[in-house]
Structure 1
C-alpha cells in the first residue's frame, strides 16, 4: 500500500508540473509579447507596469484560472456520475445536466439582459447569482431523469443514461428557442457562450464559481469511499448498512451543483467529465480516493490546453473552447463505445 501511495504522490507531482506548464504556456501566448522575467516580475510585484498588469491580471490570468477550475469541476462531476451509474460513458454533458443548467441560464440572460461574455459593473450581482439559476435547471433535468429511471424503488442505470440523452436533446431545443427570441446582439452573445467559451473571463466569474467548487468538492471527496462501494452488487451494499438510493441522490445533486457552477461561467463544455475520469482510472485504478484528485488535474490540464489551442491556432480569430474539446472528445467517446461493445 505504501508503494502505491508513493507512486500516487509522484503522479500528483507530475500532473502538478504539467498543469503549471500548461498555464505558463497559455499565459505567455497572445498578441502582446512578454518575456519570462517580465511576467515573473509582474506576478511577484517586483517591477510592474500598468500595461503588464492589464494583460496579465485583467485578461490572461482570470481566463487561465477559470479554465482550470471548470476542468476540475467537470472532471469531479464526471467521476461521481460514472461511479453512481457504474458506466464509463456517463458524462454531465451526455446525460443532460449541462443542457438543463444551460437552458435555465439562457432564460436568465433573456429576462435579466445580462451577457456572460461581456460583463459590466451593473451586472456583477447578476453574474454572482447565475449559478443558482444553473443549479435549478440542472436539478430539474436530474429530477426528470430520476423520476423516469426509477424502477421498483431503485435506479435503472441503463434507463438513466438513455433518459439523459433524451433530456439533453430536449433542453438543447428549448435553449435554442429561447435564444431565437433575443435581439441580434444578445443572440450572438448567447450562441458564443452556449458553444463553450471562457475567452472573456474575469475575477467575478472566478468568485461566482469558487464557493460552489470548494464546498461541493470537499463534500464529494469526503464521500468518495461510497463510490467504491457502489461498484459492488446492490444487495451487498445494503447489507453494509448504506442507504444506497439516498446517498446516490445526494451525490447526484452535488454533481449537479458543480456542473451548474461551471456552466454558468463557461457555457456547455462536454467530454471533460467523460475523458478525465476514464484516463485517471486507467492510471491509478478504481479506488476513488486516489483516482479523483488525478482526474481533477487531468480535467484542468485538458481544458487549459484546449483553451490555449482555441486562442492560438487561428489567431487573431478565436475558436470556442467547447469546439476544441469536442474535436478530441467525440473520437474518444466513440473509442470507448467500441471498446465497451468489444
Structure 2
C-alpha cells in the first residue's frame, strides 16, 4: 500500500517542482540591479519590449538562470548515481573530490592554453571531464578492496583528502600568474557562476540530453547495485560494466556542470536525499524528482545570492554551502548512530 501511495505521489511532486522552478525563474527575471517590471515580462519575452528590457532578460538573466537550472540538475543526477553505485549516502561529486579534479583541469587549461578560455567554450567541459575522470579513478582505486568492493566510508574519507589536496594544487598553480587569472580561479573556487551566456547553455545541454535518458534507462540496474553485488549478479546485471558506465556518467555530469558554474558542492548530496524522502528509494521514482530538486536548489541559491549584495552578489556555491554543510554534518552524525 505504501509503495502504491508513493507511485501516485510522484507525478504530483514533479508538477509542484516544475511550477516552483517556473515561479523562481519569473521572480528572478524581474529583480536585480536593473529591475524589469513584471507587467513588461511577457511582452519582452515575445519580442515587444524595450531594447533595455530585452537586453537585460535575454543577454544577462535568462541564460544565467538556465545555466544554473541545468547545472543543478546535472549535479543532482551525478550525486544520485554516486550514492547508488557506491552504496554511500554521503557521496557527492563536490565532497568526494570529483569537482576539485574538474577544477584542476579547468585551471590548468585556463592558465596555460595559448588562447583565452572564452574561445574554448565547448572544450571546457571536456577538459573538466578529463580532470574529474582521473580523480575519480584514483579515488575509486584507493577506496576499493578486493573481494569486498568499494568501502563507503573510505570513499568519503579518500574523496575529502583528494578534494583538499587538489584545492591546494589549484592555489599553488595560481600563485605565480597575473591578477586577472587569479580573480577568475578564486571566483571559480567559490562557486561563482561565470558561464552566463547562451553558448554556455549550448555547451552544457548535450551532456544532459544524452546522459539523463541513459541513467533513467539504467534505473533497474541501479536499484540492484544499491543493494549488493551478489543480488545484482543473480538478477543478470553486468555489475562491472554498468558500474563503470554509470561512474563515467556521474563524472561527466559533474564536470560539465562545474566547468561553467565553478566549485559547487552539496547539491548532489541534498537533492537525492530529499527526493527519496518524498517519493521513496526506487531509482525510477526518485531520480527524476532529484533532478528537478537539484535544478531548483541551485537556481534559488543563485537568484538569492546575486541580489543580496551589490555589485557582484554572493557566489551560488557559498549560498548552497550555508545549507549543505550543516546538512552533511547531520547525515554524517545520523550514519554513525
Q: CA deviation at 1:317?
A: 4.1
Matches of 2:234 and 2:265, distance apart in 1: 37
The residue aligned with 1:7 is: 9
The alignment status of 1:165 with 2:160, answered yes or no, reads yes
Structure 1 residues 36-85: Cα deviation after superposition (integer angstroms, max 9, x where no partner): 2211011122x122211110000000010001001000000000011112
Which stretch of the first structure deviates more once superposed, 316-325 or 284-293? 316-325
The alignment status of 1:272 with 2:273, answered yes or no, reads no
The alignment status of 1:27 with 2:29, answered yes or no, reads yes
The residue aligned with 1:36 is: 38
Matches of 2:172 and 2:194, distance apart in 1: 25
Matches of 2:330 and 2:158, distance apart in 1: 22
The residue aligned with 1:284 is: 279
The alignment status of 1:152 with 2:146, answered yes or no, reads yes
1:53-132 equivalences under 5 Å are 53-112=54-113, 119=118, 123=119, 126-132=120-126
Q: CA deviation at 1:10?
A: 1.0
1:248-263 equivalences under 5 Å are 248-263=243-258
Whether contact under 8 Å (1:115, 1:186) holds in the other structure is: no
Matches of 1:317 and 1:158, distance apart in 2: 38
Which stretch of the first structure deviates more once superposed, 248-257 or 5-14? 5-14
The residue aligned with 2:216 is: 221
Q: CA deviation at 1:291?
A: 0.1
Matches of 2:161 and 2:329, distance apart in 1: 19
The residue aligned with 2:327 is: 332
Whether contact under 8 Å (1:66, 1:206) holds in the other structure is: yes
The alignment's C-alpha RMSD in Å is 1.6
Whether contact under 8 Å (2:195, 2:260) holds in the other structure is: no
Matches of 2:116 and 2:170, distance apart in 1: 15
Q: CA deviation at 1:152?
A: 1.6
Matches of 2:307 and 2:116, distance apart in 1: 24
TM normalised by structure 1 equals: 0.93
Whether contact under 8 Å (1:71, 1:301) holds in the other structure is: yes
Structure 1 residues 241-292: Cα deviation after superposition (integer angstroms, max 9, x where no partner): 2221221111011110001100110111000000000111111110111101
Structure 1 residues 89-137: Cα deviation after superposition (integer angstroms, max 9, x where no partner): 1110111100001101000000126666xx4xxx2xx111011110100
Matches of 2:184 and 2:191, distance apart in 1: 11
Say if 1:281 and 1:210 are closer, same or farther in 2 by CA, change over 3 A.
Answer: same
Q: CA deviation at 1:156?
A: 2.9
Matches of 1:89 and 1:158, distance apart in 2: 8
Whether contact under 8 Å (1:93, 1:271) holds in the other structure is: yes
Aligned residues: 334
Gaps of 5+ in 2: none
Structure 1 residues 174-212: Cα deviation after superposition (integer angstroms, max 9, x where no partner): 111112232011111111122111256111111111111
Q: Give the counterpart of 2:190 among 173, 180, 195.
A: 195
TM normalised by structure 2 equals: 0.95
Secondary structure of the corresponding residue to residue 292 of structure 1: helix
The residue aligned with 1:137 is: 131
Matches of 1:239 and 1:33, distance apart in 2: 59
